[in-house]
Structure 1
Amino acid sequence: MVPDIEPRLLRAFVAVADELHFTRAAARLYVAQQALSRDIRRLERELGAELFTRTTRHVTLTPDGERLVPYAQAVLAAYDELGGAFADEARPLLVDLNTDGIISGRVLARARELAPECELMARYQSGLTGAAAEIAAGRLDVSFGRFTGLAPAVRAGLAAQPVRLEPMAVLLPEGHPLAGRAEVELDALAGESVYAGAGNPATKEWTDLAERLFAGRGIKVASPAPVAIGFEEFRRVMAKTRTPVLASVDFPDMPGCVLRPLVRPVPLSPVSLVWRKGLKHPGLDALRAAAAEMAEREGWLVRPPGAWLPEGDLLHMCPNQ
């Protein structure tokens, strides 16, 4: 008989099976690589099967590992739905705003008006990839961001509701040759290196969007750099490096910098409300109602003619367009 298997071990297995790389899988789960390796070895012992073939260069699934994948995914999905169905609806709902996001903050404020009896607690994880790992671990309930930028295995355990197609902008240091323009044509950034979170494991979905936008335009994604935590530290690093930053048009004002919308074409950042599948909570109901209400009233999901958006994101955000 197969022994009872802890969900943590199956989550470790699914992460490695998806990434085929222990370091990336550990970063995705926010655990140490040694701890992840121990969990995989323990799972192999409990099942009496080798799940991965490991060399110094490659990690591949064995036939037993391939066989386990759909079962592990199904068990985790059922486990998450069970947890959501019996969650304490009176407890606070933990909502990640991805820093001081204006759109997510407005949705949260409206949800609090719709459900004043609920405690909706804001968190600031900065990046949907990182927030998704926190949701999977049960340390967070809801987040905002680019849902299609998550790995398929991660999306399988989540649900999402489109909220806004947010026009993108570039944050420029004062004195930059393009800072005097009211708006910046995308092609004017040719030859520039633009920061888009490269190297930050919590914001992979944003870096991927930038890479797709810049491809073939002569624009480079700036090299990885230490992640600046907090607005003041970000401002200090910006003043020191003077590297343009890819942002949204609602990025908060920053001293010493100017925010300019990108045009020709207008690139769009797809923002969705994201939560764990099976989660039931009146606060989530209020968030979904608030997001739908504001998107309808303010036209947040209307795609401007000629605007840029990757096809996969368009299918998710605007299935009828």
Structure 2
Amino acid sequence: MPASGHLDPRLLRAFVTVAEELHFTRAAARLYVAQQALSRDVRRLERELGTDLFVRSTRQVALTFDGERLLPYARRVLDAQDALLAALGQARPLLVDLNYRDQVTARRVLHRARELAPDQELMARYESGLTGAAGELLAGRLDASFGRFAGLGPALRAGLEHQLVRYEPMAIVLPGDHPLASLEAVPLAALAGETVYAGAGNPRTTEWTDLARRLFDGHGIEVAPPVPLAVGDEEFQRIMAKLRNPILAVVDFPAMPGTIKRPLVDPVPLSPVSLVWRKGLVHPGFDALRRAARELSAAEGWLRIPTDGWFPATDAAVIHPSN
């Protein structure tokens, strides 16, 4: 591959984004540029290097041999540039996944981080689950997310780091006329015989479904089978109202029309929520995010475990590997 005297990092970022998406329209959307402009940048880079980087057809985009060779080098150059800009206080926006719009724990951490680093741009994203976000973190399309770190597979965890933020008490969302809705709190044993929705079939939230299965095991509670994957709160609420299954949630889950939310007790099930990021992340806004998480964990007592609290033993081994 012929060497160029100078390679514009903007062209390398265009190349890396197309290489990750293998789709010019999606790549252009990620970069907030017109597709024609993105195509021009890629062609310019190819001219400067004197080689084709992609094989283009009407059906697909694929990397050439030289494109495969260039990709790891281009990523390292861009990572170095991001680190340099961060050191000089000129960092790009930090992309923080909150899972869903009303996730209280993640949102409070983000808002506090913005107060701690007002000169940095911390932008919220919504990937709907840590499993879905993990792939985006590893690909560099997200910087940080929140969720049950131990629920990720070992291959995903190997490229990520985490900081425990909260043991979040869990709850059950019931149809308003459900017999258990009259209780102030619902003992886990009272759900025996119920079929409870816990995101089964959603590939972005497998860590949550796994937590539900571990919680329900031995209690006569079934995880509801997969339902049509809803996009947006309105569609989710419509499908849940139609099926009328209780929904496993956390105590801060937003209210839904026609439902009653009740905390679970005997035991108090806990969802271990961590701040999760890819290894090697450098960004001044990220420092503020970690500090915000530590402050809130301490001030709100988020890491206290109730006497009758429960979470999977497997999680403890991952969260506190030295214990």
- In which range does the TM-score fall when normalised by the shorter chain? 0.7 to 0.9
Structure 2 vs 1, CA of residues 209 and 182 (structure 1 numbering), >3 Å: closer, same or farther? same
Partner SS for 1:228: coil
How many Å apart are 1:81 and its aligned residue?
Answer: 8.1
8 Å contact 1:96–1:124 — kept in the other structure? Answer: yes
- Taking the aligned partners of 1:279 and 1:190, their CA distance within structure 2 comes to 45
Counterpart code for 1:98: N
Counterpart code for 2:139: A
1:235-250 matches, within 5 Å, as 235-250=237-252
How many Å apart are 1:226 and its aligned residue?
Answer: 1.3
Please report the TM-score for the alignment, with normalisation by the length of structure 2: 0.74
1:252-291 matches, within 5 Å, as 252-291=254-293
Alignment length, in residue pairs?
261
8 Å contact 1:301–1:318 — kept in the other structure? Answer: no
Partner of 2:29: none
Structure 2 vs 1, CA of residues 236 and 285 (structure 1 numbering), >3 Å: closer, same or farther? same
Q: CA deviation digits over 1:270-299, x for unaligned, max 9?
A: 100001100100111010000001001111
Partner of 1:212: 214
1:1-321 matches, within 5 Å, as 84-87=79-82, 88-89=85-86, 90-99=91-100, 100-317=102-319
Q: CA deviation digits over 1:216-248, x for unaligned, max 9?
A: 110000001112221122221121111110000
Counterpart code for 1:126: S
Partner SS for 1:202: coil
Partner SS for 1:267: strand
Partner SS for 2:118: coil
- Taking the aligned partners of 1:233 and 1:309, their CA distance within structure 2 comes to 30
Q: CA deviation digits over 1:131-170, x for unaligned, max 9?
A: 0011122211110000011110111001100000000000
Structure 2 vs 1, CA of residues 86 and 304 (structure 1 numbering), >3 Å: closer, same or farther? farther
Structure 2 vs 1, CA of residues 84 and 273 (structure 1 numbering), >3 Å: closer, same or farther? farther
| Structure 2 residue ranges without an equivalent (≥5) | 1-15, 21-58
Please report the TM-score for the alignment, with normalisation by the length of structure 1: 0.74
Structure 2 vs 1, CA of residues 214 and 117 (structure 1 numbering), >3 Å: closer, same or farther? same
- Taking the aligned partners of 1:305 and 1:293, their CA distance within structure 2 comes to 23
Counterpart code for 2:95: L
8 Å contact 1:173–1:238 — kept in the other structure? Answer: no
Q: CA RMSD in A?
A: 2.9
8 Å contact 1:83–1:279 — kept in the other structure? Answer: no
- Taking the aligned partners of 1:110 and 1:182, their CA distance within structure 2 comes to 32
Q: CA deviation digits over 1:38-88, x for unaligned, max 9?
A: 99xx99xx9xxxxxxxxxxxxxxxxxxxxxxxxxxxxx9x99888655424
Counterpart code for 1:225: V
How many Å apart are 1:303 and its aligned residue?
Answer: 1.0
- Taking the aligned partners of 2:188 and 2:254, their CA distance within structure 1 comes to 21
- Taking the aligned partners of 2:158 and 2:77, their CA distance within structure 1 comes to 15
Q: CA deviation digits over 1:176-233, x for unaligned, max 9?
A: 1111110000011111110101000000100110111111110000001112221122
- Taking the aligned partners of 2:249 and 2:151, their CA distance within structure 1 comes to 16
Structure 2 vs 1, CA of residues 183 and 81 (structure 1 numbering), >3 Å: closer, same or farther? farther
8 Å contact 1:96–1:125 — kept in the other structure? Answer: yes
- Taking the aligned partners of 2:80 and 2:208, their CA distance within structure 1 comes to 31
Counterpart code for 1:157: G
Poorly superposed stretches of 4+, deviation over 3 Å: 78-86, 315-321
Q: CA deviation digits over 1:76-110, x for unaligned, max 9?
A: 9x998886554243110111000021010000000
